[in-house]
Amino acid sequence: MQLFKAMLLIFLGGGTGSVLRFLISKTLNPVSSHFYLGTFTVNILGCFIIGLISGWVLRSNYMDQTLALLLITGFCGGFTTFSTFSLENLELIRNGELNNFLIYSLVSLLTGIAAVMAGFWINKVIA
CA 66 to each of CA 2, 32, 57, 100: distance values in angstroms, whole numbers, following the listed order: 11, 38, 13, 40
Using alpha carbons, select from 55, 59, 53 the residue that is nearest to residue 76.
Answer: 53
pLDDT tens figures, 86-112? 999 999 999 999 999 999 999 999 999
Does 36 score more than 90 pLDDT?
Answer: yes
**Cα(80)–Cα(90) distance, rounded to whole angstroms?**
18
**pLDDT cut 90: percent of the chain above it:** 81
Does 63 score more than 80 pLDDT?
Answer: no
Residues 65-85 have a mean pLDDT of 93
Residues 47-63 have a mean pLDDT of 88
**Cα(25)–Cα(42) distance, rounded to whole angstroms?**
8
Mean pLDDT of the chain, nearest integer: 94
Specify the higher pLDDT residue, 21 or 56. Answer: 21
With vertex at residue 94, the alpha carbon angle to CA 97 and CA 83, rounded to the nearest 5 degrees, is 100
Residues 56-82 have a mean pLDDT of 88
Residue-wise DSSP of 51-93:
HHHHHHHHHHT---HHHIIIIIIIIIHHH--HHHHHHHHHHHH
| Contact status, residue 12 vs residue 69, Cβ threshold 8 Å | no
Residues 21-45 have a mean pLDDT of 95
Using alpha carbons, select from 53, 26, 36 the residue that is nearest to residue 118.
Answer: 53
Does 27 score more than 90 pLDDT?
Answer: yes
Residues 67-89 have a mean pLDDT of 94
pTM, whole model, 2 decimals?
Answer: 0.91
